[in-house]
Amino acid sequence: MEFVKLFNKEKFQVFLLTCPATLPFAFWSHSWFVVNQRGQVSRWEIFLFQQKKHNKRWGHLHKDFYSPTRGLPIFVFAEDIPWQCVGLAGYLEGKKGSLAERVGDFVVDTPHNYPHCNNYYFSGPNSNSYTQWVIDHFPGCGLKLPTDAFGKDYQFAQPV
C-alpha cells in the first residue's frame, strides 16, 4: 500500500482509509482513521459486531482491532481473507499544535465523546457516520468520505 510511505514518526498525522464492506454489503465502503502521534500509531473504527474478546473497545468503537492498513474481511466466515483494495481517502499532517494534532487527539478521545459507541444501525449511526462525525467537528479540514460511504449523512441529534 503506497500510502504507508507517508507515515512519518516525527509528525502528527491522521489518515482516513476506506475499503469495501464485508460481503454482502461490499457495494458500500467502510471507513476508519489511523492516527499517528509522533510514532504512536492507532486505528479507530466502528464495527457492526462488538468484538467481545478485544480489550480496546467501547461498545461498537474499536481501537487497533486490525493493523492500520488491513482491509475488512471479504467474508464474515473467513476472517483471514481481507480486502486488499484499501484506499486513502485523505490525510492531515503537521507539527505540534497543528490541525493534524488536534484531529488526532479528538479521535483518540472518542471513547469519551462519541455519542453512539453503543448504537449501530445499517442506516446510521455506523462506521461512516462515526468518521463523518469526526470530520464535521473540523470544518475545512479537507477530509471527505467517498460517495459510497453509506451512513455518512446520518443526522446526529443536536444538544438542547
Residue 108, pLDDT > 80, answer yes
Grid coordinates of 47: 464495527
Instruction: Tell how many helices (H) and how many strands (E) occur in the chain.
Output: 3, 8
Classified as helix, coil or strand, 102 is: helix
Rounded to an integer, what distance in angstroms lies between the CA atom of residue 98 and that of residue 88? 21
Model confidence, pTM:
0.91
Rounded to an integer, what distance in angstroms lies between the CA atom of residue 159 and that of residue 81? 41
Q: Which of 12, 17, 16, 18 is nearest to 36 (CA)?
A: 12
Average pLDDT, the chain: 90
**H-helix segments, 64-126:** 99-108, 110-113
Q: What is the pLDDT of residue 160?
A: 40
CA 29 to chain centre: 11
Classified as helix, coil or strand, 136 is: helix
The model's pLDDT over 53-99, given as tens digits with 9 standing for 90+, comes to 778 989 999 999 999 999 888 887 777 767 788 899 999 999 999 99
Q: Which of 137, 28, 147, 46 is nearest to 92 (CA)?
A: 137
